[in-house]
Structure 1
Amino acid sequence: MDIFSLIGLVLALIALVGGSILKGAGVSSLWSSAAFVIVILGTIAAIMVHTPPAVFKRAARMLKWVFFPPLGGGEQMVGQLVEWSNIARKQGLLGLEPLVNEQSDPFLKKGLQMLVDGLEPEAIRHMLEIDLNGQEHQDLAAAKVYEAMGIYAPTLGIIGAVFGLIAVMKNLADPSKLGHGIAAAFTATIYGIASANLFFLPMANKLKSVINGRSREREMVIEGLIAIAQGENPRNIEAKLAGFLH
């Protein structure tokens, strides 16, 4: 679990609630059903128009990566690749065949299967790089969904504030309603700016970071598999792959 993301989320909520209390606005001022409908539901509606269904569904599935990134651990992966190289040197590439079905990662399973099948190193590299680039492209497109939400939300917050001010203008004859109406109008602005800068944009950037880390791990896997296919010494493979860990 990414504890930094959890701490950041908690601090964001504390900043909003605590700031409202310290400024004398109170916790109740942060809730407005009208602001929620305009800003949050409006942002979701905008992003559904903006995004193809497949990308939207992928973005929803990837949300958990903010807290549970799918990174296998670089040192553990290096150790696994070195172990495979030792098996290949002692038993040949066919000695790796029993390990193929044990792999839960489709990318790793495909690479190991091609290694066992005796494909040329450059053919393995070419096919795995196509998979890697395609996966990275799809993941980045999904991460940009949250980036787009961070762009739409502040604008919808302004729209909500304008609606609130329109309501205030209709009640100019009743001064007792002016203060409450203006406060409610600015709540929509808070929803828009806070959701964008404390949630949507940070989540988009965190997902991009996770995607880059995942791609880096898979580049390491490709280099390791190619080195095994070329029959390199396990110690040399370990030294080569160590560069990916820094």
Structure 2
Amino acid sequence: MDISTIIGFICGIVFVITSIMMGGRLGLFFDLPSVMITIGGTFASVLISYPLNKFLNSLKSARLVFKTQEFDTGNIIQKIIDLANIARKEGLLALEEAAQSMEDKFLQKGILLIVDGTDPELVRNILETELAFVEGRHKEVQGFWETVASLGPAWGMIGTLIGLINMLDQLNDPSSIGPSMAVALVTTFYGSVLANFISTPIANKLKIRSSEEVLLKEVMIEGLLSIQAGENPRIIEEKLKAFLSPTLRDTVNEKDEGEAKAGE
């Protein structure tokens, strides 16, 4: 489970509910017609914007923000260096056996393309095309939640307008103006919460996960092509470290030093 997502949602709910109870009654902020207008209207509009299968798949993506996804670039670099050493000692054909034990299908596919003697430029084109489509699917899902975030406040305002119209219809009863105005404003509250507490954070988390996965696959592509070109494993390692942040680079260096000492 992704701890930051869980903590964020719990803290947000606690802060909102506590602040409401400190200044008024929690019951004032629950109104079924407002929920129907804001939440129902928002997702009805999104359903119009997306085909049904993409709507359902994008909706299911919300669960991904609660799952921990580890993209250990340092570990992948080490695997590529190991593959480079095998290729240097035993030849590219020896990589086929190593490919069978690879859990990452993208890396496995790249290794098999190399073993089959595919032209380096074609290998790059195939892997980069697959990466482009992966990134495109990710952006489509991110766009879904960004659409929800943009439509939520708008539907909240529509609900407020409906509430104001109903309020103006009852101006002959001054005692009903206050409660009617409160109900009218609740829809704006729902729209803002939907956009800023749910949809936008989900979209941002998915963007971060996507960028990490894309970086990992770019490292794989560069590493595999370097192996195919017969470059020295040490040169490949330094080349791939350029993809990492200084902190991750230091972590990889420390790991290499530890392994070197253990070998001694």
- Structure-2-length-normalised TM-score: 0.85
| One-letter amino acid matched to 2:202 | M
**Would you say the 8 A contact 1:93–1:116 is kept in 2?**
yes
- Quote the residue 1:84 is aligned against: 83
Q: Distance in 2 between matches of 1:57 and 1:118?
A: 41
- Quote the residue 1:38 is aligned against: 37
Question: What is the CA distance between 1:54 and its match in structure 2?
Answer: 4.1
Deviations 1:67-90 (A, max 9, x none): 335442111111111111122222
- Quote the residue 1:157 is aligned against: 156
- Quote the residue 2:261 is aligned against: none
- Quote the residue 1:120 is aligned against: 119
SS of residue matched to 2:118: coil
- Quote the residue 1:180 is aligned against: 179
Task: After TM superposition, list the pairs within 5 Å mapping 1:1-246 onto structure 2.
Answer: 1-22=1-22, 24-68=23-67, 70-246=69-245
Return closer, same or farther for 1:75/1:51 CA change in 2, 3 Å cut-off: same
Return closer, same or farther for 1:64/1:85 CA change in 2, 3 Å cut-off: farther
SS of residue matched to 2:126: helix
Structure 1: unaligned runs, 5 residues or longer = none
**Would you say the 8 A contact 2:71–2:212 is kept in 1?**
no
Return closer, same or farther for 1:62/1:71 CA change in 2, 3 Å cut-off: farther
| One-letter amino acid matched to 2:38 | V
Q: Distance in 1 between matches of 2:33 and 2:98?
A: 57
Question: What is the CA distance between 1:178 and its match in structure 2?
Answer: 2.7
Question: What is the CA distance between 1:226 and its match in structure 2?
Answer: 0.6
Deviations 1:211-241 (A, max 9, x none): 1221111111100111111111212211111
**Would you say the 8 A contact 1:146–1:201 is kept in 2?**
yes
| One-letter amino acid matched to 1:6 | I
Q: How many residues align?
A: 245
Bigger mean CA offset, 53-62 vs 229-238: 53-62
Q: Distance in 2 between matches of 1:119 and 1:47?
A: 44
Question: What is the CA distance between 1:168 and its match in structure 2?
Answer: 2.2
SS of residue matched to 1:244: coil
Q: Identity across aligned pairs (percent)?
A: 34
Q: Distance in 2 between matches of 1:30 and 1:220?
A: 50
Q: Distance in 2 between matches of 1:62 and 1:225?
A: 31
| RMSD of aligned alpha carbons | 1.9
**Would you say the 8 A contact 1:150–1:196 is kept in 2?**
yes
Q: Distance in 2 between matches of 1:214 and 1:125?
A: 17
Return closer, same or farther for 1:8/1:82 CA change in 2, 3 Å cut-off: same
